[in-house]
Structure 1
Amino acid sequence: MATLTPVAVTLPKDKVPTKKNARDIIGAFLTEDWPFVDPETLTVSYHASFANAHCPVERPKPATGTTTDTLKVFIKFHTDAGGSLEVFKPLAPTRHEEALFSYEYGRTGLGAKVYGFFETQDGTLGRVEEFLDARNMEPEDVENSVIRADVAKGLARFHVLETSLEKKAVESYYEAVVNGLRVYHKMDKLKALGEEGGVSIDKLVDYDFGGKLRNVVDKLQSIGGKTGWCIHDVQFMNVMVKNDAKEGESKVTLIDFEFVMQNYRAFDIGGHFMQKMFKWFDEESRIANCRKYTEEEKKHFCGEYARQWNKLTGDTDTGDRVFQESEYGYLLAITFDIHNMLCFMDAQGDKDPLNLLGLNKLFDEFVAQCSKLNLQD
């Protein structure tokens, strides 16, 4: 059972830990070597994001003798800002629940091991976890059949995880997102922001995504689409490719669980296919300069997924069945991204032309997929 450990640390007002802060937090859990490290010898880098702030910390390798504790760890601070948008707050995990989910995921051997949870004297909560010797996945990585298969198997394992999170009805998610999309339907403010950014998004804003999404969900229900724990935010930066995976070990691991909720498994699978076209944090373009997932690659992925799913659940799903579900999941995932980007635009007045171009690309993909599946009005 994960317990909260008080640590004798008070963070500065800006919440950026000093080297001594970092050493003392880590030393509360890794007790053989870390408590005795000279803080000035540490390499500490602090990164604040929309969700949680995080901090990789590395100590030098001792010149003599042996070392028991790992040399590099990862501190994650559980900030109040959170990645959960207002519309998803009743559904998405709280900061505490997300941290506990990460702990449970790490215990399976699929993700980073969590060494412990802490609370500083100034009330800051966080956790210390294993530092993954890995990099963010690039769109081209999934053109490698081994990596592609490992992502498929990783998602199947994730979807059927045993976890302490409360299972909330899938329909609750669609009520929330459909209502959210209706808020932005035909909103003049969004059109004006697009005009100011030099990229018209009028067609997107006027499109009835909520109504279309209802049709997609009805189709998934009619074919018996299966559900599980979905990540939702399946952009490629949330898949890590290990630099030196051991023999027989998966080459990938999943991270960032701020939006973990029950949903159709098709959401993550179709979303993975869609996200190959985007690099949301690239400074030159949000649209990746690579080819789309081919149908052959999608079917290989779905076959690997089905085998892993069946192994874990006892089902007899086929790759073709998973592929059929994923075609609708592609649309589910697009509406999630569009909703969240429009929400950000409305709240922050965002008119970055790169984001606007990315939005229009999502819209084009949505319309094309609806046509492919005969979902047009």
Structure 2
Amino acid sequence: MEVLASVASDLGDAIDDMESVQVIPLSGAMTNEVFQVKWPTKNGDAYRKVLVRLYGEGVEIFFNREEEIRTFECLSKHGQGPRLLGRFTTGRVEEFIHARTLRAADLRDPEISASVAAKMREFHNLHMPGEKKAELWKRMRNWLVQAKSLCSPKDIKKFGLNNLDVEINILEKKLSEERQEIGFCHNDLQYGNIMLDENTESITIIDYEYASYNPVAYDLANHFCEMVADYHTEPAHVLDYSKYPGLEERRRFVQTYLSSEGKKPSNAEVEQLLNDAEKYTLANHLFWGLWGLISSYVNKIDFDYKEYARQRFRQYWLRKPALLELSAAQDEIVDAFVASVI
């Protein structure tokens, strides 16, 4: 409340009566708890709104909080997302964006999807601090070490964690064989991290905890994978892979993404990125499977993280034979492993 009073003062208001402050929980967040906080302005006939983010317990295991704050501030200077208004030990105060968060169904709207694709391209082209190389593989290996240290022997066996070192190595080798474009990626572009101003139809991407340099194909893959989720349904953790976007829907998104800077891509460029993104769904499944497993031990938010992890790992093993073009014998080995562990 002290920080809020200071923020109010900086914005030209004064909070004299804390009972006048209204706090409204916002649903859908799985790493932090998020609230809209508002209070009467000086003239009393309008409300000032800010967003307060309370950091989830134990989530620093996933990223460096100070680095995330620096990313947040740097993106703000680039005109991306909200401004940072204040900080306290367990959270921060951000500018409240007067736009609505997308719903799961919005990602299937062709016009909204096209706007997201163009905004994604703009985000990927940002010049941010840090070495322009893929962070994905190092992060997954670190998370695997964390998952093994937290999990019971039963869960280590159930989720096949002792096999994942090999799987990560295979993926890195297979997916890095050809030169791929590296950009500054959001890495968590689910519908809840995208906001739409319905007056201007402009898109804002928010929440940068997992942002880093990565292959842009990985970020597209992440977005496609998130189309199977609706975190505002009950139960929120259930993923419906029948909703995964079909080939033409993905091709349209990639075409718009590559065309958004005014240069028409060749058919070969579209098909290459489309194919790369599909293969990178495998890395996404491992990445978020490990995230879910670790979260089940460290995060107290009401969400079935372990079941979420099981679904992501299962999808990895189901899709691996086709996407990595395994032989029939290798395919049988994978099938047996899926049946035995998940």
Bucket of the pairwise TM-score, normalised by the shorter protein: 0.7 to 0.9
| CA drift at 1:309 | 6.0
> Which residue of the other structure, out of 320, 324, 328, is the alignment partner of 1:370?
320
Indicate how the Cα distance of structure 1 residues 206 and 350 shifts in structure 2: closer, same or farther if over 3 A, else same: farther
CA distance in 2 between counterparts of 1:43 and 1:375 reads: 55
Q: How does 1:338-349 map to 2 (within 5 A)?
A: 338-345=289-296
Instruction: Give the structure 1 partner of residue 108 of structure 2.
Output: 143
| CA drift at 1:100 | 3.5
Matched, 1:106 2:76: yes
| CA drift at 1:321 | 2.3
Q: How does 1:76-87 map to 2 (within 5 A)?
A: 76=52, 79=55, 81=57, 83-85=59-61
> Which residue of the other structure, out of 156, 159, 162, is the alignment partner of 2:121?
156
Q: Is the 8 A contact 2:296 2:306 kept in 1?
A: no
> Which residue of the other structure, out of 172, 178, 190, is the alignment partner of 1:223?
178
Q: TM-score, normalised by structure 2?
A: 0.76
Instruction: Give the structure 1 partner of residue 164 of structure 2.
Output: 209
Indicate how the Cα distance of structure 1 residues 372 and 345 shifts in structure 2: closer, same or farther if over 3 A, else same: same
Q: How many residues align?
A: 324
CA distance in 2 between counterparts of 1:42 and 1:319 reads: 51
Instruction: Give the structure 2 partner of residue 295 of structure 1.
Output: 247
**What per-residue deviation string (whole Å, max 9, x for no partner) do you get for residues 310-341 of structure 1?**
76xx9988322221220122111111111112
Instruction: Give the structure 2 partner of residue 29 of structure 1.
Output: 10
CA distance in 1 between counterparts of 2:26 and 2:313 reads: 32
Instruction: Give the structure 2 partner of residue 72 of structure 1.
Output: 48
SS at match of 1:286: coil
Q: How does 1:277-316 map to 2 (within 5 A)?
A: 277-280=228-231, 282-288=233-239, 291-308=243-260
| Long gaps (5+) in structure 1 | 1-16, 194-200
| CA drift at 1:205 | 2.1
> Which residue of the other structure, out of 34, 38, 44, is the alignment partner of 1:58?
38
Q: Partner amino acid for 1:28?
A: S
| CA drift at 1:176 | 4.0
CA distance in 1 between counterparts of 2:322 and 2:153 reads: 28
Q: Is the 8 A contact 1:84 1:258 kept in 2?
A: no
Query: Whose helix fraction is larger, Structure 1's or Structure 2's?
Result: 2
Q: Partner amino acid for 1:205?
A: G
Q: Is the 8 A contact 1:50 1:81 kept in 2?
A: no
| CA drift at 1:263 | 1.4
Q: Partner amino acid for 2:316?
A: F
| CA drift at 1:24 | 2.0
Task: Note the aligned Cα RMSD (angstroms).
Answer: 4.0
**What per-residue deviation string (whole Å, max 9, x for no partner) do you get for residues 2-29 of structure 1?**
xxxxxxxxxxxxxxx3xxx465223232
SS at match of 2:50: strand
Instruction: Give the structure 2 partner of residue 197 of structure 1.
Output: none
Matched, 1:324 2:275: yes
Indicate how the Cα distance of structure 1 residues 37 and 100 shifts in structure 2: closer, same or farther if over 3 A, else same: farther
Q: Partner amino acid for 1:297?
A: E
**What per-residue deviation string (whole Å, max 9, x for no partner) do you get for residues 103-135 of structure 1?**
3333444422x1x54357xx6773441333212
Q: Is the 8 A contact 1:184 1:205 kept in 2?
A: no
Matched, 1:178 2:141: yes
| CA drift at 1:143 | 1.6
